[in-house]
């Protein structure tokens, strides 16, 4: 009789242990599922490094690779400073244009009142992308230039590019025949990066 009771108690104990193990495994699986299903935070995207201010500055940054002499470095630094002075008014116009896009602008036309910030120009094409409406009612909004005319950032960027090209060609005359091919590659890559960043939305 006692043997039978011991056997029954053992079976009951084994069943209890099995239930405990089953509960433990279930809890572990739920915890694992929660851990794997939790969204992983994506790594922070670092902002791109600032570009040199000109093709000449990009070439100067590789002076060691090009084996430039002190006289060449000095001459290119002088040309780059001259270019910076020439470009300063143009860059100020762009800065003022970007600031104007953040605030109210004057409506174009006589129909009504437009919405603030509705006249950003896209892609340097000189077209106002207003939200104010059509031919009647509120006119489209267009940022203005210093004299009140519609501002065309594309034209300013083109002028900056023309100035950069002219200055680089002058600087190239300071370099030797052996240095010019690699310097032109550096300048071309710099200009490609400038164009790529201009195409990105602000």
pLDDT tens, position by position, for the chain (202 residues)? 555 545 445 554 555 555 545 545 454 544 544 554 545 666 666 677 899 999 999 999 999 999 999 999 999 999 999 999 999 999 999 999 888 877 655 555 444 444 333 333 333 333 333 333 333 444 444 445 555 567 888 999 999 999 999 999 999 999 999 999 999 999 999 999 999 998 876 5
CB of 115 closer than 8 Å to CB of 128: no
Give the whole-angstrom CA distance, residue 30 versus residue 38.
12
Tell me the backbone φ, ψ of residue 110, rounded to 5 degrees.
-115, 5
The owner of tokens 């207003």 is 130
Give the whole-angstrom CA distance, residue 98 versus residue 102.
7
pTM above 0.75, yes or no: no
């Amino acid at each position: 009789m006692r043997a039978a009771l011991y056997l029954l108690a053992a079976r009951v104990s084994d069943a209890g242990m099995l239930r405990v193990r089953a509960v433990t495994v279930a809890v572990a699986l739920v915890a694992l599922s929660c851990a794997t299903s939790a969204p992983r935070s994506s790594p922070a995207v670092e902002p791109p490094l600032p570009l040199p201010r000109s093709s000449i500055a990009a070439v100067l940054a590789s002076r060691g690779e090009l084996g430039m002499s002190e006289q060449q470095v000095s001459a290119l630094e002088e040309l780059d400073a001259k270019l910076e002075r020439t470009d300063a008014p143009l860059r100020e116009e762009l800065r003022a244009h970007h600031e104007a896009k953040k605030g109210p602008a004057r409506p174009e036309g006589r129909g009504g009142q437009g919405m603030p910030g509705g006249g950003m120009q896209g892609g340097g094409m000189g077209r106002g992308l207003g939200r104010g409406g059509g031919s009647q009612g509120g006119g489209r909004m267009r940022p203005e230039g210093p004299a009140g005319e519609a501002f065309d950032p594309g034209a300013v960027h083109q002028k900056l590019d023309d100035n950069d090209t002219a200055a680089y060609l002058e600087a190239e005359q300071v370099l030797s025949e052996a240095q010019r091919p690699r310097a032109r590659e550096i300048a071309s890559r710099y200009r490609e990066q400038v164009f790529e960043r201009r195409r990105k939305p602000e």
